[in-house]
Amino acid sequence: MAVNGIETTAAWRTLTALAGRSRDLHLRDLFAADARRAAGFSLAHDGLLLDYSKQRVTTEIMTALNALWEIADVPGWMEKMRAGEAINTSEGRAVRHMALRDPEPPAEVRAVLGKMRRFCEAVHGGDWRGGSGEAISDVVNIGIGGSDLGPKMATQALAACHQLQLRVHYVSNLDAAHLATTLAPLNPRSTLFVVASKTFTTQETMSNARSARHWIVAALGEAAVSRHFVAVSTNFKEVAKFGIDPDNIFEFWDWVGGRYSLWSAIGLPLALAVGFANFEAFLAGGHAMDRHFFTAPPQSNLPALLALLGIWNIDFLGAETLAVLPYSQSLEHLPRYLQQLEMESNGKRVGRNGLPLAYSTAPVVWGEAGTNGQHAFYQLLHQGGRLIPCDFIALKQPDFVLSGNTPHHAALLANCFAQSEALMRGKTLDEASRELASAGMTAEAVAQLAPFKVFPGNQPSSTLLLPRLDAYTLGQLIALYEHKTFVQGIVWGLNSFDQWGVEYGKQLAVRLLPLLEGGVASGDALDSSTAALIAACRVTPHDR
């Protein structure tokens, strides 16, 4: 079968037919017809509970979806990945991020983990000090993309585990406002920078790193650089030119993709924030999900279920987006992290054989922590008329507890479960009319107001319930979504591990920068819009 010819298979045709027959099937009817629907369409594993009973699926649909697992040879690709084959075909690289969280990792991984442990202990214990002899109070991670989103998300997620004597900050944006506002309250004498860049040439990262270096040198002198900067990189030569001691370089490898690198030395700021024991628990949670993924059949495999349900919603029901809705303030950065994971991995229109695909791939991933999102965009979810599948994520136990009797967590869970129920059930015109009439409204007033109270419902959603939010369960959660993304990429016939779409804009930016600084751009003539925008914003020496 052609790499991206899955749409020609009998299973795909069956799913297309099932989608056509189920267009008018409402979720409330599925629940009314089966009192045990929740039990039949849910899966519990290692403390996690996935309830997908509010997805618009039946047993027949799930059987057809599970067939895609074998047709696309997902098990074969899993073994290729685990064996270290170069499944990133366009770059000729292996994909081995799972080795980073293996309890018996390769020797080079074990060496870096040991170095990270010793460094964290030195910083936490006060043995690592700044150039003027002060203990470190603040760590600033400078990176972008996978070198920022992953550790930043995880550091916020594990806020309840933070080392109290250390504050960890993240700077990524090329806009000077990001670095300036981060540095403003900090003391250079007690600030440590982690510069995270595989090549140590990334424009955004190195611009911020050079400005941070100037900040340290202006306050403490050139000699202080080696005590206030460490690097996570593969380019030892460039790191040394920057002034960082080679002993303070934490290595990672070409077989670690940026958006999968949180498990590597890119996770150093996370380990500094929560302590190395918690970082090891994070790795253990990821490895536990790996074992589950590689051993469970698709019908009882958490990543497989999420992946196949997403394919059903996108390719057969016509959904274009996925709302990720964590009812946890600590997980507020998770939707942005998953944007990169899913959209950079599978936001592609060409298959592994270089031919255009005949179907849609990654959805637009977006979302916000509940209950904030309820006061922003839930109106559109309920009455906007678009099909928007949702992933609700909730915690059985809170990670923070306040004194007093206010039931914060119970109220949070009530809102989460109520929203998924309302999106599933909806409210008919008759129900709205009866509700208004029972409130004492006149028949005329009911007739005028009732149409505005109608909710179509039938919005598909899954709810993932975590027992708690700690380092282990966060590892499970991130690995779950990684494997989901992998499965979808294999079924869609994609190389999920390159990101050529990121490069083009960077190339053009390098070409345009000299023009903005008053020089001459090389290459083809500019289009009239770009030329006019540059003319309007040309940088003068005074502005630099």
Residues annotated as part of the active site:
344, 375, 506
Q: Which residues pair with 170 in a beta bridge?
A: 141
Strands 191-196 and 229-232: parallel
Name the burial class of residue 504, with classes exposed (0-12), middle (13-18) and buried (19+) by CB atoms within 10 angstroms of its CB.
Answer: exposed
- Residue among 203, 201, 527, 497 nearest 347 (CA): 497
E strand spans, 26-93: 42-45, 48-51
| 149/334 Cα distance (integer angstroms) | 9
| 46/326 Cα distance (integer angstroms) | 20
Task: Kindly state the tokens that stand for 295.
Answer: 């051993």
- Residue among 534, 489, 500, 522 nearest 68 (CA): 489
- Mark out the alpha helices in 170-274 (DSSP H runs): 176-183, 203-220, 225-228, 236-242, 268-274
CA atoms within 13 A on the CB side of 320: 2
| 216/436 Cα distance (integer angstroms) | 66
Is there a cis peptide before residue 371, judged by omega within 30 degrees of 0?
A: yes
- Mark out the alpha helices in 127-173 (DSSP H runs): 149-157
- SS3 category, 348: coil
Query: Which amino acid does the sequence have at 99?
Result: A
- SS3 category, 430: helix
Region of 353 please: left (phi>0), alpha (psi -120 to 50) or beta.
Answer: alpha
In this structure, the number of other CB atoms found within 10 A of the CB of residue 356 comes to 8
H or E segment and range at residue 39: helix 37-40
- SS3 category, 172: coil
Distances (CA, A) of 135 to 166, 245, 374: 10, 19, 43
Q: Tokens 């309820």: give the residue.
A: 374
Contacts of 159 (CB under 8 A, 6+ apart): 330, 399, 400
Residue 317 φ/ψ, nearest 5 degrees? -100, -10
